[in-house]
Amino acid sequence: MALARYKNWLLWAVLMAVVIGWFGWGGRPQMVGLFVASGLAVGSLYALGGIGIVVLYRATGVLNFAGGAAGAAGAMTAWQLSEWGLWDPIGWLACLAVALAITLVYGRLIAPRLAWRETVVKAVATLGFALIVLGLVSFLWIDDPRAITLPTDGIGVRILGMRITATRLIVFAASILIVFGIWLFLARTRVGLQMRALANDRDLAALMGIPILRVETIAWGISGVLAGFTGLMFADLIRLEPTVITFMVIPSIAAAICGRLENLTVVLLGGLSMGVIENMLTLSPVLRGVRPIAPFVIAALVLLYYQRGQRLTFGGRD
């Protein structure tokens, strides 16, 4: 019984060990370690994006495609402010504020008008908003190579003989802390309880007098700040380009799928595994070219695994 309970975890651990062992075989342990470490950083970005999506989806029923666009707008603002010579922390705060503001505009002004539509249509509507934001951002900052550097990029930490930049450690630690924080928030606070009630049954929660607008606004706010943070980190670690950051939502959704759009811990682990596996593929001469495909394949396999043994029956809601 105990074994059956932990079977999924065991399977996951074995699979990860096999993947790392397979691709890392013959490489120097330190090099493999570096690949795993930078994979964990990229995976944390996927996971952070996924967490924002899941929190919002559970509380409001909206799958938000616009998180990446909000993050892109924030990151570009941060770049602009540092270009104007402002003190860097102001730029970082501005990044979070811009992403928060953009997300709240959608959450308060547009989302309520679509409350009665199907989930998929709601998701597609956020894509419309993402296009508006992306169009404006690309109009304001025309295509040009840019980069954001955080002071932590220069600081290296030695772990097991490997030098890892502090930014990567921060992203990794942040993803874990954020999952823990959100878990605490959902489990211990009144708003968290109301959010869980909404996620459980929206109509019933509304009948019980839960202040839906307030709870939803808080959820939009959380996802907005997360989007801003993810955008800033993505711009620093990978690339500062609005289109790329905007469509980072697609692998984030892959991470969210791993947690069935509900379990934050699994979203975190799924995102991290995706990042690591994607990076390990670099070591394979055959699969190197297709390595960005990893998140999608993993998400598809995870979905297939979840529904094993299920039959098409009279389902309830989606």
Partner 1 sequence: MKRLFHVTPSGWAGFALAAFAIVVLPGLSSSYWLSVFTSAGCFLLAISGVAFLYARLGMVSLTQVGLMGVGGWVALRLNHAFDFPFEVNLALAALSTMVFGWVLALPALRMRGLYLALVTLMAAGGLEILFATFQFPNGGEGFWGVKTGSSDPFRRPFLAQSAEDYLRYVLICAVLGFLFIELHRRLQPGRAWALIRRSEAAAMAAGVNVTLYKTWAFGITGLLGGAAGALLAGSLGLLDDGTFRASESVMIFALAVVGGARSWQGALIAAILYKVLPALLNIWGVYADLSFVIFGAGLLHAVITAPDGLAGQALGGLKALLRGKDRRDA
**Of 257, 258, 272, 274, the one binding partner 1 by CB under 8 A:** 257
**Of 153, 191, 282, 296, the one binding partner 1 by CB under 8 A:** 296
**Of 25, 84, 87, 314, the one binding partner 1 by CB under 8 A:** 314
- Residue 18 near partner 1 by CB under 8 A: no
Yes or no: say if 110 and 125 are a contact pair by the CB < 8 Å rule. Answer: yes
- Residue 262 near partner 1 by CB under 8 A: no
**Of 75, 123, 205, 276, the one binding partner 1 by CB under 8 A:** 123
Q: Which two tokens stand for residue 49?
A: 């994006």
152 vs 282, beta carbon nearer partner 1: 282
- Residue 265 near partner 1 by CB under 8 A: no
Number of residues that bind partner 1 (CB under 8 A): 51
**Cβ of residue 127: shortest distance to partner 1, in angstroms?**
6
- Window 48-77: residues binding partner 1 (CB under 8 A): 63, 65
- Residue 113 near partner 1 by CB under 8 A: yes
**Of 85, 89, 145, 315, the one binding partner 1 by CB under 8 A:** 315
- Residue 42 near partner 1 by CB under 8 A: no
HSE, side-chain direction, 13 A CA sphere, residue 18: 6
Q: Which residues bind partner 1 (CB under 8 A)?
A: 63, 65, 110, 113-114, 117-121, 123-125, 127-136, 138-139, 247, 250-251, 253-254, 257, 261, 289-290, 292-293, 295-297, 299-300, 303-304, 307, 310-312, 314-315, 317-318
